[in-house]
Amino acid sequence: MAAMKSLKTIAAARRWRQGIDTRVVLVPTMGALHHGHEALIRHARKIAGPSGIVVPSIFVNPTQFGPKEDFSAYPRPLAKDLATCRKAGADAVFLPGVAEMYAADASVSVLESSLSTTLCGRSRPGHFGGVCTVVAKLFLAVQPTHAVFGEKDWQQLAIISRMVRDLNFPIVIEPFATVREADGLAASSRNAYLTPAERELAPTIHAAMAESSKLKIPSAIEKSCTAAISKIPGARIDYIEAVDASTLASLPNRKSAGRLAVAVFLGKARLIDNIPLPRIP
**Catalytic entry in 37, 43, 127, 146:** 37
Strand partners, 27: 56
* Amino acid symbol at 266: L
Asked about 127 being catalytic, the answer comes back as: no
Q: Which helix (H) or strand (E) holds 14?
A: helix 10-18
d(CA 54, CA 86): 10
DSSP E strands in 30-106: the ranges are 53-58, 92-94
The torsion angles phi and psi of 35, rounded to 5 degrees, stand at -70, -20
The helix/strand count (H/E) of the chain reads as: 10, 9
Phi, psi at 275, each rounded to 5°: -140, 155
C-alpha 198/C-alpha 203 separation (Å) is 9
Q: Which are the catalytic amino acids? A: 37
